[in-house]
Amino acid sequence: MFTKGETHRSRLRRLRAARRRLDADESVIVRERAQGRCESCLRYVGDALHVHHELSGNGRRGRGESALASKKRALCLECHRRQHG
């Protein structure tokens, strides 16, 4: 007996989950790199860091190069607000 294989919906679900997992794992790396300090003003804020994606645009945040730790910064709330104007 033959199996149908993976459906389109389950394939999309699997790919999206992998993309979210990569983005979350890279965000952990960013927070560890910052060691509780804002990477802009260098003020110690502990766990109150926001991860800012340096690459932006419609449909770009958390995808491809934008998901990598090298393209993210850990910022305090004030610096993150300043970045978004």
Residue 43 is part of a domain; what is its CATH number?
3.40.1800
Q: Is 3 inside a domain boundary?
A: no
Domain limits for position 50? 8-84
Q: Is 61 inside a domain boundary?
A: yes
Residues 46-75: pLDDT tens digits? 989 999 998 877 777 778 888 899 999 999
Residue length of the chain? 85
Q: Is 48 inside a domain boundary?
A: yes
Q: What is the pTM of this model?
A: 0.84
Give the position of tokens 């794992």.
25
- How many domains does the structure of the chain reveal? 1
**Distance separating alpha carbons of residues 31 and 28, to the nearest angstrom:** 5
Confidence at residue 62, expressed as pLDDT on a 0 to 100 scale: 76
Q: Is 1 inside a domain boundary?
A: no
